[in-house]
Amino acid sequence: MINGNILFYFFDDFFINLCIIITLTILYIPLRSKLNIAAMPFWQKGIIDGVICGLASVILIVFSIEMAENILVDLRFVPIMLVLLFNGFFPAVIAGIVLIIGRFMIGGMSDFSVSAMFIVIALLAGFQLIYKLYQPDKEKGTYRKAIIMILYSNVVFAIFTMFHFSNHYFYLITFLPMYCLISFAGGLTALFFTNYMKKTEMLLSRYKEEVSTDFLTGLQNMRSFAAIWEKSIDRAVTKKEKLTILTLDIDQFKEINDTYGHPDGDQLLTQFSNILAKNTRSLDKAFRHGGDEFLIILPNCGITNGLEVAERIREEVAEHSFQISKNRYIHVTVSIGAATYPDTCSHYQQIIQQADEALYKAKHAGKNQIYSNITSSQKES
């Protein structure tokens, strides 16, 4: 069962196990972010995460050390531990089911395969109890939970080993300490890489959001407009939907800046942006087009509904008291141009130009106006 080269085989094959875990982590976490799996329904993302981690455990079995006939030793518990720590119990259960099925497919219907199934069940139950009952400080909490989970997995595996090899004392004292050492090293190293990749992905996501977001108002900026506009156009043309765009300009904003100063003007812009966000749907996108100019993309929205949105915004802006300093409130108005494909223009390439022209006409019609090509009269307060 154990020959003179056991130490070499252990370290060689466990190193392969560790490389597999790290490689799969590096591949899956960015892919998970790109596919936006985190935003999927609970059961859907749980099944995806669980199946992936279960398959990772099965791959580890394929590259395991066969210590005796049908006795496979590896780090298969690590993916289950990681998915429970970062994604919860449900995907861990799915991973366990996939692992059990994989073990039976590889080892057949043997006593060792049945024992491996009970080990997985015991690990899932124990890991969940540890996760729920042990609540260390948040700063190092994940690592401390992992250490307890790895220690528990070693106890479970030791019981399993002693059950099958109770008459091989030398085997036990040689093998179990070695497995314990490598399982701790492998489990904590895998946790470090997983934690590192998740933090890196979170930072990249934050940087992308900051690059595409206006720092003052929190709305989308014009760097992100082109990509979002192109997707909106493609959807409107492909699905034969209507697409409306509103162009907005705060009336006499330059005079406000000149009179009260730019910090007070910034306060006004922030509150104005909140009004835009309040009066648009979750699928609509509002953009700051620099200074006091704004754009709103309204997917699957005809000109009639678009003008209703514009009117709600115009009315609320006109009625709102903007607090620009501790004891100073002012009132402002907004002019809005609207254009819709295909309601007001026959070709989607004309829509932005037409909306700009509509805004120009609204500004020169006395301000506090809404204008579109199908509105011969403007909306006034």
Q: Does a structural domain hold residue 96? A: yes
Same domain, 203 and 244: no
Same domain, 198 and 288: no
Same domain, 193 and 241: no
pLDDT score, position 82? 93
Same domain, 262 and 343: yes
Same domain, 15 and 151: yes
The CB-side HSE value for 251 (13 A sphere, CA atoms) comes to 21
CATH number of the domain within which 147 lies: 1.10.1760.20
Q: 228-261: string of b/e by CB count within 10 Å (b at 16+)? A: ebeebbeebeeeeebbbbbbbbbbebeebbeebe
Q: Does a structural domain hold residue 378? A: no
By C-alpha distance, which of 75, 169, 160 is closest to 122? 160
Chain segment 266-320, per-residue pLDDT in tens: 999 999 999 999 999 999 999 998 889 999 999 999 999 999 999 999 999 999 9
Q: How many CB atoms lie within 10 A of CB 207?
A: 10
How many folded domains does the chain comprise?
Answer: 2
Concatenated DSSP letters of 259-296: HH-HHHHHHHHHHHHHHHHHTS-TT-EEEE-STTEEEE
Same domain, 139 and 245: no
Same domain, 106 and 194: yes
Task: Give me the torsion for CA of 35, 40, 46, 48, rounded to 10°.
Answer: -30
Greatest mean pLDDT range, 72-76, 104-108, 323-327, 337-341: 337-341
Distance CA(306)–CA(199), nearest Å, equals 41
pLDDT at 167 over 70: no
Domain span at residue 314 reads: 222-372
* pLDDT class of 7 with cuts at 50, 70, 90: low
Q: Does a structural domain hold residue 354? A: yes
Chain segment 31-41, per-residue pLDDT in tens: 888 888 888 89
Same domain, 187 and 79: yes
